[in-house]
Chains A and B, each alone.
Chain A
Amino acid sequence: MTGSRTAYRKRLLQARRHPLQTLLSLVILAVIAWVIWSTATWLFFGAKWSVVTENLPLFAVGSYPENERWRPCLWLGLLCLMTAITLLQPLVSVRWRISGLALSWCWLAMLPIGLLLLAGGAGLQTVSSRDWGGLTLTVLLTCFSGLLALPLGILLALGRRSKLTLPRHLCRLYIDGMRAVPLIAVLFFGQLLLPLFLPVGIEINRVLRAVVAFALFAAAYIAEDVRGGLQAIPGTQLEAAAALGLGPWQIQQLVVLPQALRVAVPALTNQAIGLLQNTSLMAILGLVELLGISRSLLANPAYIGRHLETYIWLAGLYWLVCTAMALMARQLERQGPSASTSAIPS
């Protein structure tokens, strides 16, 4: 009680000593109050949310066949469940806690499950990738390009630090070149030019082309992040590992990479979030992911002028997914297999 009172008195004293600061605070408070008031009145009375509420299935799964919609919905549900399980880990008692390794494997398993559910096969009716869309497609693009880009990025980072001249220069050329080009140009390349570089008769579908383009682009950025992690490993570690008689591959695999990747996790998380946001660029190139489906919705005469409602809804969705990703990455980082246990083969 006395503590808070002294703090209050201190504040008051500060306020008297800094009249300008106090004035500034008051102005900011007034602006904030006005913004909150006008936003709230608009949100509850001005906005017409029908464009969102009537099209929730479209936002979730796009133009997926109606009686098969449960499949992408099931996948999204599974992902939400996994997210909840991951985020609730520190809250449950130790006995019910799942190890970080098992959790990582569960997350990895989500990818083939998602592909199976979306594409069909094995008893499920096949659905062409042309019909995929909405949040499902956004998540799918992010997951698969990330999965492809990570090993590629690690290889590039190792190559850039290699003792061999040729791979070092090639990797540097690739990384620097890719980082100088805007993503939309790479995606354009993937959609329109990639088929020209493939043998006659081989065609890959648009979603896969987008995944490849995203992965090629993201790999260059991931490589730089991993390189930062690699640089954090002191050279004495390499010498110690070599003195123990480990071969060059063993050194990288058992000593350097586990530590370097741990250092790089925060940067890699940012890359993953960036990747998710960047999938929205496919809307320009004609895929109906989250932003693409909204663009086609807004072109519908029934929803003319409903831009603000749609964009706020989308911003909320993106914000939610990005925040969940950031929180989970922090979780896995804290809980994941520590460098010491994963480096020692049992």
Chain B
Amino acid sequence: MKRKRLRWLEIVLAGLVLTLVGILVNNLAVNLIRTELGLSFKWLWQPAGFALSEHTLPYQPGDSTAWALLVSWLNSLRVIACSIVLATVLGVGAGAARRSLNPLLRQLAGLYVGLIRQIPLLLQLLFWYFVAFLGLPSEPMAPVGTLVSLSNQGIAILGLNLSVEFSAVLVGLSVFTGAAIAEVVRGGLDSVPKGQWEAFRSLGIGETLGMRKVVLPQALPAILPALSSQYLNLAKNSTLAIAVGFADLYAVSDTAITQTGRAIEGFLILLLSFLALNLLINGGMQVLNRIVVRPAQRT
């Protein structure tokens, strides 16, 4: 009796959802016909007509829009990958510092996390771009010999040239995500029983070694899932690069949509490209999970 009623409820619900979707699609069709747009993906193969400020593969405005989107996707991937590395270093450092023996270091890390998390990322990105990097002198300055040269035209590290936009996005994303990762790491360290810390300290093992060999292997299973969700957040947040004029996936999709007027199609492609990015990060994290967690559990 009850199961039958549930079945009916489900059928009614399905009907409602289908009707809603039908209405929306119908509205869309009516609007597309009314504005004489229709759906078409031909524009992808036509010349893009806009320049990209930076590209890893050869690109000219005469190349197709699809190519421009691919190049911008690679730009996104580049900045995300670099930010993930930098944010992890920052975050693990700050997270470990919050549980260090040095009270000053603890306070400093706490200040960093507390401050960064209360200020919008977009504001931070604007700060890094307009104040920190565009505020550099136009003449290259080299604080440590020829290793690093800084100017508001670009940054060169060991012969590797980075644009100002790229650097601003990289630093902004890393500092912001680093604070979040620090919290994740701190939570993971807290999940390790206190006796473990006391045990390695009483054995005379140094802080760094004990952290690396005793605490971290036990904290990692708790840290990794939250870490991968922070990486996904970082990837999503990288779309804010449009605010500082970095030619990332979202910025170029936006330009393409404004130029062609193909909002629906452009949006679909944007979503699909993002799906690909997400899958990439997820896959990478799963591989990492398998490498790191398995041996730790085996011992």
Contact = CB atoms under 8 A, between A and B. Distances in A.
A253 to B, nearest CB: 18
B130 A307 contact: yes
A180 B278 contact: yes
Contacts of B270: 185
Instruction: Identify which of B115, B127, B274, B278 gathers the most chain A CB atoms within 10 Å of its CB.
Output: B127
Contact of A166 (B14, B31, B122, B271): B14
B51 interface: no
Interface in B15-49: 17, 24, 27-28, 30-32, 34
A281 B240 contact: yes
Given A188-B267, A192-B263, A200-B31, A315 B10 contact: no
Interface stretch (B81-89, B101-109, B138-146): B101-109
Contact of B123 (A188, A197, A318): A318
Nearest to A27: B104
Interface in B116-170: 118-123, 126-127, 130-131, 135
Given A311-B123, A314-B123, A181 B271 contact: yes
Nearest to B101: A21
Contacts, number: 122
B9 interface: yes
A164 B122 contact: no
B250 interface: yes
A323 B274 CA distance: 33
B13 interface: yes
B119 A277 contact: yes
Most chain A CB atoms below 10 A, which of B13, B120, B232, B267: B120
B243 interface: yes
A28 B104 contact: yes
A34 interface: no
A25 interface: yes
Contacts of A197: 24, 27-28, 31
Given A185-B267, A280-B120, A311-B127, A163 B6 contact: yes
Contact of B30 (A18, A163, A200, A280): A200
B236 A182 contact: yes
A318 B120 contact: yes
Given A182-B250, A281-B122, 13 more contacts: A24-B102, A24-B104, A28-B104, A29-B104, A32-B108, A166-B10, A166-B13, A182-B274, A185-B239, A185-B250, A193-B267, A199-B27, A318-B118
Interface of B: 6, 9-10, 13-14, 17, 24, 27-28, 30-32, 34, 101-102, 104-105, 108, 115, 118-123, 126-127, 130-131, 135, 232, 236-237, 239-240, 242-243, 250, 254, 257, 263-264, 267, 270-271, 274-275, 278
22 contacts: A24-B105, A25-B104, A166-B14, A181-B236, A181-B271, A184-B240, A185-B239, A193-B267, A195-B31, A196-B27, A197-B24, A197-B31, A198-B27, A200-B30, A200-B34, A277-B119, A291-B123, A291-B126, A307-B131, A311-B127, A311-B130, A318-B120
